[in-house]
Amino acid sequence: MLKQLATLCEVLHLSETLQINDDDAILRIGSALSSKTRLKVLKLLLDKDKDANVTEVAKHLGGTEANASAQIKILYEAGLLECRYEPGQHGLKKISKTKVKRIIIDLE
C-alpha cells in the first residue's frame, strides 16, 4: 500500500516526463490511455499548450459535454491531467491542463 501511495504521489507531481515502473501504475496509466477519445483529449491539451474547459474539449471531440467530462475525469484520476474550477456564466466551469508530454514505461 505504501508503494502504491508513493507511486501516486510521483504521478501527481509531474513535470514533462512521467516514468513509471510499478505494475499498478502501469495498469492505471495504460487503462487511461486505452481510449482513442482520451488520447485526443491529451493531444488537444498538448497542441493548445494551454488550459481548456469541458465545452472546448467536447467541441473538439464532436461529442457531448457529459462525455468530455467523463473522459477528463478518467485522465485526471490517472494523474495525467490537472483540473481546477473557475466561475462561469452558469456556475463553475472545469478547466483542464495536461501534466505530461512523455510517458516512459519501465518493465524492469
Enclosing domain of residue 66: 2-105
The model's pLDDT over 6-27, given as tens digits with 9 standing for 90+, comes to 444 444 444 588 888 889 999 9
What's the domain count of the chain? 1
Give the gyration radius of the chain's Cα atoms.
14
Domain CATH code at residue 70: 1.10.10.10
Share of the chain above pLDDT 70, in %: 84
- Host H or E run for residue 24: helix 23-32
pTM: 0.79
Residue 30's identity, in one-letter code, is G
The side-by-side arrangement of strands in the sheet containing 91-98 is 52-53, 91-98, 81-88
Residue 21 DSSP SS3:
coil
